[in-house]
Structure 1
Amino acid sequence: MTEQPDTPTEERQSDVMDPARAAAFEVALGRQATISAGSPLPPFFHQLYFWAPQPPECLGRDGHPRVGAAGGLIPDLGLPRRMWAGGRLQFDAPLCAGIRAEKHSVLERAEHKEGRSGPLAFVTLRHEVWQEGRHCLTEWQDLVYREDPDLAAQQPVAPKARVDETEAREAAFSSTLLFRYSALTFNGHRIHYDLDYARDVEGYEGLVVHGPLLAQKLMLLAEEVIGPLKRFSFRASSPLMHFETATFCRAGNDLWVRGPDGRQCMSATAEGA
């Protein structure tokens, strides 16, 4: 059933695409800092911008802005656990560092469903980013909200990842990298830096690697091999913990993240420009 939210259904933000922030992210990823004013930004680097800080009293228990709050796009659907389930992107023109950009966000969907593990809520946000009057990209962001876990219950079995890749690269994610990514994206979600909260409240084995960070590394791999991207879609299927080493795989235009036990953490499809 689709909800009729009392919260706004759209918002607009503006931000100068600070080259220092993008260069810091390059360094955090273990790359050479190359971005300066006027440089085209790599795909998905817009995640570093358009911060919307809220005072402490407007935050939920998980560190995110409280859903249903005045001025927020996401209604309160009565479920406490937030997950970034996936997304789709269409790139029409590169964003350039050091130039102001505008972001227009719309709430496309907010609905309840009943899953095998209990009630779920699905939210889809659409973001359009413009720079100097030129449309640069559209992003659809899919979020899922769930009940608190039964810590004594058996965890669902994650799907197995493909093993037919033609290219594979391993990557580790330290708690320092997770902290730096949270800081650069102004993401206060405690599952990424508060181990006690992640384990004792949300039932994870460790700190959770950001879904967008996995998607970012897949996008950079796709761009390196395929060239400039026109479209990219990704879907999270199992969380990756900070103490695990993941394998980033590609076969043609298909990409995926495989955990150390062979499970699929994320799948994606890329299309070149």
Structure 2
Amino acid sequence: MDDSMTIASDEELQGWVGRQQIDQVPINLLQAAQMAALLDHPTAPAAGEETPPLWHWVNVFPPRRHSMVGEDGHPVRGGFLPPVALPRRMWAGGKLRFGKPIAVAEDVTRTSTILSVTPKTGASGSLVFVQIKHQFEGASGGHITEEQTVVYRDEPSPDQPAPVYATAPDDYDHREMFRPDPVLLFRYSAVMFNGHRIHYDRDYATKVEGYPDIVMPGPLTATLLAAAVERHAGCKMASFSYRAVKPLFCDRELGLCVKLDLAQDTFDCWAHDDEGHLAMTGRGELANRP
């Protein structure tokens, strides 16, 4: 199935709803060590120790043969995900609920199901939203339930007005600053086996897709936000939902902000860019707060 195939109608798109795929996706010791090194941890988790939040995403991209990868670096359309003809796709957001933590090097089964395929029309043109549910089950009882939203969209037209972005709140009670450099972004894509070229190929990102620089992966922003929440709260998360609202770019400082509501054991968090624009929002519940 090649990257140029199209879906002729909404009725055919709906044929992907309910499609299911089951994969074995353990986080092995090498992957845990790579993530620890990437995020500058002094040591890597050992076998049997808890996997830090959102590190299970290292296995989110299937190891497709190179002949089955498109020009943009994504796997070609079709198979589990619907072969939507729109040229751009992005990981727009999701929500997770954490049960017993998944351990490093434990056997993990991921069951993925297409929940919905929804065409829409927005200011930027045609859009298709694909909602996917993932159930992660570890052999020792580890469990994560996740709903992920992938959006497909048109190329922006040359006369399209520049988007207007919201200003990030300034009422955080904790903020960490972070500057993603090209090496870090390349290494993150390598750990995830994510070939999407906007995350490491500056010429492709700027000359083909029209971004001002290499694009920071949304999952990395969410992972950094989750870690900032747990450091500040001093406990684990029970749930986490997030939504990407603006791209972040290489070599530009960003802020990771956290605001706790200890009376309710909840949190809000957000990321902002170097100009103070809101880039990602998140919220959730805390677990086992001391």
TM-score using structure 2 length: 0.89
Equivalent residue in structure 1 for 2:221, among 204, 214, 226: 214
Taking only aligned residues, the RMSD between alpha carbons, in angstroms, comes to 1.7
What is the 5 A alignment of 1:105-254? 105-132=112-139, 134=141, 136-151=143-158, 153-226=160-233, 227-252=235-260, 253-254=267-268
Tell me the alpha carbon deviations over residues 110-169 of structure 1, each in whole angstroms, 9 at most, x when there is no partner: 121011221101011111100116351011111111111224543211111111111111
Name the residue aligned to 1:63.
73
Cα distance in 2, alignment partners of residues 270 and 83 from structure 1: 22
Name the residue aligned to 2:53.
43
Matched, 1:260 2:274: yes
Matched, 1:84 2:84: no
Q: Is the contact made by 1:7 and 1:73 (CA closer than 8 Å) also made in structure 2?
A: no
What is the 5 A alignment of 1:5-44? 5=15, 9-44=19-54
Change (3 A) 1:124 1:205: same
Q: Is the contact made by 2:174 and 2:232 (CA closer than 8 Å) also made in structure 1?
A: no
Cα distance in 2, alignment partners of residues 13 and 26 from structure 1: 24
Shift of residue 205, structure 1, vs aligned partner: 0.4
Cα distance in 1, alignment partners of residues 204 and 61 from structure 2: 24
Equivalent residue in structure 1 for 2:102, among 91, 95, 113: 95
How many residues were matched structurally? Answer: 270
Tell me the alpha carbon deviations over residues 226-245 of structure 1, each in whole angstroms, 9 at most, x when there is no partner: 31111000000000010210
Cα distance in 2, alignment partners of residues 5 and 19 from structure 1: 38
- Structure 2 residues without counterparts, runs of 5 or longer: 1-9, 261-266
Change (3 A) 1:41 1:150: same
Name the residue aligned to 2:3.
none
User: What is the identity percentage for the equivalent residue pairs of Structure 1 and Structure 2?
Assistant: 34
Structure 1 residue runs of 4 or more that deviate by more than 6 Å after TM superposition: none
Q: Is the contact made by 1:67 and 1:74 (CA closer than 8 Å) also made in structure 2?
A: yes
Tell me the alpha carbon deviations over residues 72-102 of structure 1, each in whole angstroms, 9 at most, x when there is no partner: 2211222010111101000011011121111
Shift of residue 49, structure 1, vs aligned partner: 2.4
Q: SS at 1:222's partner residue?
A: helix
Q: Is the contact made by 1:50 and 1:103 (CA closer than 8 Å) also made in structure 2?
A: no
Q: Is the contact made by 2:132 and 2:149 (CA closer than 8 Å) also made in structure 1?
A: yes
Amino acid at match of 2:53: P
Q: Is the contact made by 2:124 and 2:156 (CA closer than 8 Å) also made in structure 1?
A: no
